[in-house]
Chain A
């Protein structure tokens, strides 16, 4: 028969082994979050062991029962990791969530405003005296003015949407989302022009001007996010 001391050693080993396995499965949560999760789980297990002891189980059995009742390491870590990544990427009120939301908002708004500005752009390029004012861009007469006309409301409205749905992180997430969207936009433009007109693709101005416009839109997106956040706060307090 094991002594109380030996029993304690076995039991401690069992719980510690279980917590260590959980710890290995929660590596991607980051140190602070992982420590907090494990601390809460350890307290839960301690309380359960204590309850089992009171029911008459010896230390080893109590710890075994507590671990069994808690569930398999794979299920527990799987559930916690899934919840963590959901928070990280899919809950709007995180920086990454706000960024994703901003990208989606930009896509929707540009998708809606894009065709409209194409029509305006084509009409203006043909019928306005401004069509002669931009000799640098023979392939896209008037493109950048149209781009700006489209970007201003789109950026502001996407900022409002993100600030509304992610009031704590919209102000940081909106410019990031804006950059992701624009990076895709500029890269796809480079790819298309490289294939169709390699000589034109080497002209840095066709990328620098949209990049400059993108940077100039940051205050607009942040302003939109502030407006959205204010409305979110008003709605919450109403």
Chain B
């Protein structure tokens, strides 16, 4: 099964990937695909506007890094504000997923599993 990634979820996924460590744009895209076992596909060009907005909102920071080999690359780092936002939004998302999952699965969210 493959699904297109909804536009609004990209920023949360970016924040989640950056929780694991600093990365450049291409690595973030690959990591999202890898972590979702290639289930989530996105047009990679949508990544950069989302990165810009996260930068504007001070969730992430970027700087150009020159490796020993190859050209300089723009590396993205999570800020403290971004870390807190990721935690908050991840909790909200999990709660939402559990409610939808319960309804789709025919169980109330507060029902104890058997």
**A residues whose Cβ falls under 8 Å from a Cβ of B:** 36-37, 40-41, 43-44, 47-48, 51, 69-72, 75-76, 79-80, 82-84, 86-87, 91
Determine whether B105 belongs to the interface, using a CB cutoff of 8 Å to chain A: no
Closest B residue, CB atoms, query A76: B45
CB proximity of A75 to chain B, nearest CB, Å: 6
**A41 contacts which chain B residues (CB < 8 A)?**
45, 48
B44 touches A80 (CB 8 A): no
Report the 3 A-B pairs with minimum CB-CB distance, sorted nearest first. A79-B49, A71-B43, A76-B45
Judge whether B45 and A91 touch: CB under 8 Å. Answer: no
CB contact under 8 A between A86 and B45, given known A43-B26, A44-B26? no
B43 touches A87 (CB 8 A): no
**A83:B45 contact, CB within 8 angstroms:** no
List of B residues within 8 angstroms of A44 by Cβ = 25-26, 29, 44
Contact between B45 and A82 (Cβ–Cβ < 8 Å)?
A: no
The answer to whether B108 has its CB under 8 Å from any CB of chain A is no
- A75–B45 touching, CB < 8 Å: yes
Interface of A is mostly: helix
Residues from chain A with Cβ under 8 Å of B107 in the complex: none
Among candidates A36, A37, A51, A69, residue contacting B43 with C-beta atoms closer than 8 Å: A69
Asked if B56 and A75 make an inter-chain contact with CB atoms under 8 angstroms apart, the answer reads: no
Taking the closest CB of chain A, its distance from the CB of B11, in whole angstroms, is 12
- Is there an interface contact between A40 and B56, defined as CB atoms closer than 8 Å? no
B45 pairs with A40, CB closer than 8 A: no
Q: Is the CB of B48 within 8 A of A76?
A: yes
A75 to B48 CA separation, bound complex (whole angstroms): 11
Whole-angstrom CA separation of A10 from B38 in the bound complex:
29
Q: Is the CB of A80 within 8 A of B71?
A: no
Q: Are B44 and A48 in contact (CB under 8 A)?
A: yes
The answer to whether the Cβ of B89 comes within 8 Å of any Cβ in the partner chain is no
- Chain A residues lying within 8 Å of B26, measured Cβ to Cβ, are 43-44, 47-48
Most chain B CB neighbours (cut-off 10 Å) among A36, A40, A51, A70: A40
Q: Does B100 sit at the interface, judged by CB under 8 A?
A: no
Q: How far, in angstroms, from A76 to B50 measured CA to CA in the complex?
A: 11
Verify if B84 is at the interface (C-beta below 8 Å from A). Answer: no
Q: B20-50 CB contact bits vs A (8 Å, 1 = yes)?
A: 0000111001100000000000011110111
